[in-house]
Structure 1
Amino acid sequence: MGDNMSLKTGVLMIFLTLILVAAGGIIGMILGYPIEILSLAFIMAILVNFISYWYSDRIVLSMYRAKSVTQNEYPKLYSIVSRIAMNAGVPMPKIAYIPNNVPNAFATGRNEKNAVIAVTKGALDILSDVELEAVIAHEIGHIKNNDMKIQTIAAVIAAIIGYLGFMGRFMIFGDTRNRGNSQIIGIVLLAVFLPLAALIIRMAISRTREYGADERSAQFTGMPDQLAKALIKIENSVRKKPMRKENPATAHMFIVNPFRGESLINLFSTHPPTIKRVEKLNELAMSMGRPQVSI
């Protein structure tokens, strides 16, 4: 699994390099300095790859103003994480608190040794202890399955590409009277195709990762029904009040897409439908002699 994950990470970074170099070529064409800016874009792509690989987890945590917490600050949460980590056979991950009322959680980090589980205020407020335990077990499932590195790097890469696309859309509304046809075409390419590239990156994070982490949660806790209940609670809460100010490029990292309903692009979310996840969890519950959850 490790070699396969390294290969996927490498492919993702090559894709980023190609996208940034292409964007540099387009911007160079718009500004009239194609070779110079193309060369600069290549150097920037190498730099961004380096930063994404080594610091993507810190970047994502900073996006959500996540704060590392101790056992003294959140003893119940710490106890749950510690117990599930022991059951899963992974090192105790760090715990981060996100001051956001939308219930959710995600795992990040390059590997098991520097993993972080981030939990929102909303999740701590609305989930019961056993539901929270099931959610934590799902995130530790991502750690066990070595999903976090590619998920976190993909989030940073998608955010960067999305920002370049935003620049292109901004240029569209600028003064185009003095621009040639090729420059206008370049601006449109930036505005349209870069966001699509960011979407492709997000969708490249396979939906099977969520199913796999759901199964891990059931394995670690023996309570697939509690994860199903938690997913339904989180889904209903997100539908009523999704995240709005944060970056949708990180949506695939969360246990449930927190930006649902925010834009058309989220119709192509990397998450499988919650109803399908609950159905699979009900199948697991039946096999484990646990109650099933009504959908």
Structure 2
Amino acid sequence: MRPTVRSRRLGSRLAHYRRESGLSGTEVAARLGIHQATWSKIESGKTKVSPTVLAKAVEVLDIPASVAAQLDTLRRKSEEQGWWQDYGDILSEAVQMLIELEADASWIRTYEGHLIPGLLQTRRYAERVITAVSPHIRVADIDRYLELRMRRQKRIDEGLRLTAILGEAAVRQQVGGPDTLREQLRHVTRMVREHDVTVQIVPFTADAHAALGDSFTVIQWPDEADPEAVYVDGVTSWTVHERDGVIRSYLHALASVQAQALAPRESLDLIHDVIKELP
């Protein structure tokens, strides 16, 4: 079984309570009546957890009832088919992981130096980005990629909080031409006005910051006990970071770049100025 985000979150939280209890994986497995290798796979999210095993683990690890309910919800969701699996034939593993991360998120913070983030892209802007970045994509698949991107954005309608820090280049690069960019920038301002979306622009006049040359996304889940994750996607590779030390480094980078950014109101003023300047 390929670990899903939900199964890994469940395993991570069980591992946390197992360490808090002072028990080894072998001791927990013995008390649950399962093999140690099976418990190891549960902690790494590589195997499903039955309701019976989870109930016993809650008892053995003395997990509070309120947390136990959250874990059972994660267990059930980890077995569900995600809507994105309908696009499995065109989805890269990187994009699938990102969508899984977004699916349960309560707050997403992202830094993009040169592009409007996917969660805020219009269909025309997204089409130009997709065809430019993937020149060999089959024409028949373009509409499905666009449909997928638009479907991801429904999370904002569902109450997802989004904080997007953008380099000034992202709001000036005329992706798709002036008309497409104008439509895109108006869409960004509308999303800020109508949803829990904050946009801040790092102006060209800003000094160096810790996120120079990088783009990344920090994901936070509703339960504060859950660790954050950081998704980093490059031209040739992608990574999901879940270790505390690495996450702290990216949070530092995010704070560094945000300190150089214009305030939200000033950022919207800059976007309006760019719209006026477009031919």
Q: Which has a greater percent of helix?
A: 1
* More strand by percentage: 2
- Normalised to the residue count of structure 2, the TM-score between the two structures is 0.30
